[in-house]
Amino acid sequence: MRRFFSTIMLYAVILIGFSWVYHNNDNARAAVNRIAYNFQQLKSRVTGQKATTTASAKTQQTSSDSDSVSGRWKKTTATVYVSYENQTLQQAALDAIAKWNATGSFKFTQTSSRKNADIVMTTMSKDNDAAGMTQMSVDSLTGYFVHGMVYLNTAYLLDPSYGYTMERIVNTAEHELGHAIGLQHTNDISVMQPAGSLYTIQQRDIDAVNELYSSQASSSSATSSSIKTSTQNVAAN
């Protein structure tokens, strides 16, 4: 009997320890989510059935359109107008802005003027497989951004069947703001990883911003300005 209770206590300690690590370590939590997602995808291939969309297994894949162009702002700051009627998305956007500002690598300043804002954060509600989307307009002559639109898709982020927790919605907003800064996708552990909701901002993301803004903006050989628009999606798979 004593051995039985000792075994129960051991499993309880392991479970509590695992739970603590999961809730307090971004990398561990992301790893568990990715394992669950990969298991669901493997199961769907074996059984021929569509993978279920549970909170732990549902992740995002990010893909860039072929017309994606690189760019950056002239300085490490941009004004942003936040326009979400839904309180969850509003708070997620504000949290994402605060997290980027806390890095010291880039500063978003909120403005009450949508017309004069560098970036507008708003919603879309489309069944287009995109949980988030960022559209950036860049001056091809200078390589600098002139305007940006960041969309969070209510059709996925607010649908309980897709399992988006508040943390993952914030991560998605951070990812999209990363594009608005000028960051591209990476397969490293990063907020810019193709699985856009798995990670929050990492040190490598801060380093990437510092490197981007310490170098000269990429410009074309054109003799006059032309505005090109880059669209990047965070797909809800």
User: Phi then psi for 115, rounded to 5 degrees?
Assistant: -60, -40
pLDDT of the residue at 67:
44
pLDDT of the residue at 211:
96
pLDDT at 21 over 90: no
pLDDT of the residue at 11:
64
User: Phi then psi for 89, rounded to 5 degrees?
Assistant: -70, -35
Higher pLDDT, 45 or 204: 204
- Asked if residue 98 lies in contact with residue 135, where contact means CB atoms within 8 angstroms, the answer is no
Average pLDDT value for the chain: 78
pLDDT of the residue at 15:
64
Identify the bridge partners of residue 232 per DSSP, sorted by sequence position.
64, 134
- The helix (run of H) or strand (run of E) holding residue 234 is strand 227-236
Tell me what the mean pLDDT of segment 97-108 comes to. 98
pLDDT at 96 over 90: yes
Tell me what the mean pLDDT of segment 184-206 comes to. 91
Confidence band of 126 (pLDDT split at 50, 70, 90): confident
pLDDT at 40 over 70: no
Tell me what the mean pLDDT of segment 1-29 comes to. 58
Rounded CA gap, 52 and 93, in Å?
A: 27
Tell me what the mean pLDDT of segment 74-87 comes to. 97
Q: In terms of CATH, what superfamily is 61-236?
A: Collagenase (Catalytic Domain) (3.40.390.10)
pLDDT at 105 over 80: yes
Question: Which residue matches tokens 């993978």?
Answer: 51
> Which ranges of 48-164 does DSSP label H, i.e. alpha helix?
87-103, 154-157
pLDDT at 194 over 50: yes
pLDDT at 152 over 70: yes
| Highest mean pLDDT: which range of 1-10, 39-48, 201-210 | 201-210
CA distances to 72, 106, 108, 144, 181 from 210, in Å:
12, 8, 15, 16, 11
* pLDDT single digits (tens) 165-175: 999 999 999 99
Q: Is 227 helix (H, G, I), strand (E, B) or coil?
A: strand
- Could you tell me where the beta strands, DSSP code E, fall in 30-143? 60-64, 77-82, 107-110, 119-124, 130-139
Q: What is the pTM of this model?
A: 0.71
pLDDT at 83 over 80: yes
Query: What is the number of other CB atoms lying within 10 angstroms of the CB of residue 28?
Result: 14
Would you list the domain boundaries of the chain?
A: 2-47, 61-236
